[in-house]
Chains A and B, each alone.
Chain A
Amino acid sequence: MELLTLSKVEFDYEEELTAIQSKLNSILGVRVKLNKIREIDLEAFYSYDRGQFNAAKIIEAISGECENYHVLLTSVDLFIPIFTYVFGLAKLNGKCAVVSTHRLDNEFYGLPENINQLRDRIVKEVVHELGHLLGLQHCPNYYCVMASSTSVDELDLKGNNYCPDCKTQIVLKNS
Chain B
Amino acid sequence: MVQSQIKILIVDDDEIVRDSLSAWFKEDGYNVDSCENANEALKKISNTNYDIYFLDIKMPGMDGIELHKRIKNIYPDALVMIITAYASVDTAVKALKDGAFDYITKPFDPDYLSHVVKNAVKQKILTDENLRLKESLQSALPVPEIIGSSKKMQEIKDSIKTVAPTNTTVMIRGESGTGKELVAQSIHLQSERKYSQMVSVNCGAFSESLLESELFGHEKGAFTGALYRRKGKLELADGGTLFLDEIGAIHPKTQVELLRVIETKEFTRVGGSEAIKTDFRIICATNSNLEEDVREGRFREDLYYRIRVYLIELPSLRERISDIPELTQYFIDKYRRKMNKPIEGITQEALDLLMRKNWPGNVRELENAIERAMVVSTGRELTKDDFYFQKDEESQISSGLTLADIEKQHIITVLKENDWNISLAAKILGVDRTTIYHKLKTYGIERP
Contacts and interface: CB of A to CB of B under 8 A. Distances in A.
A83 B107 contact: yes
Nearest to B2: A140
Contacts of A154: 236
Given A110-B223, A153-B236, A157-B197, A85 B16 contact: no
Contacts of A150: 110-111, 113-114
B272 interface: no
A16 to B, nearest CB: 16
Contacts of B210: 111-112
Nearest to A86: B110
A82 interface: yes
Interface of B: 1-3, 16-17, 20-21, 26-29, 106-111, 113-114, 138, 141, 196-197, 199, 210, 213, 218, 222-228, 230-233, 236
Contact of A141 (B28, B138, B222): B138
Size range of the chain A interface in the assembly: 20 to 34
A82 B23 CA distance: 12
22 contacts: A81-B20, A82-B16, A82-B107, A83-B20, A86-B110, A92-B27, A103-B228, A108-B228, A110-B218, A110-B223, A110-B224, A110-B227, A132-B27, A137-B28, A138-B28, A138-B29, A140-B29, A140-B138, A150-B110, A150-B113, A151-B230, A152-B230
Nearest to B138: A140
B233 A109 contact: no
Nearest to A91: B23
A83 B110 contact: yes
B37 to A, nearest CB: 19
A148 B25 CA distance: 11
A9 interface: no
B230 A140 contact: no
A83 B114 contact: no
A107 B230 contact: no
Given A86-B110, A152-B230, 4 more contacts: A83-B109, A132-B27, A150-B110, A151-B111
A140 B225 CA distance: 33
A151 B231 contact: yes
A53 interface: no
B107 A109 contact: no
Given A82-B16, A82-B17, A82-B108, A137 B29 contact: yes
A159 to B, nearest CB: 11
Contacts of A151: 111, 230-231
Given A81-B107, A142-B197, A157-B197, A148 B114 contact: yes
Interface in A66-105: 79-86, 92, 103
Contacts of A148: 27-28, 114
A151 B231 CA distance: 8
Contacts of A45: none
A148 to B, nearest CB: 6
Contacts of B109: 83-85
Contacts of B233: 153
A81 B199 contact: no
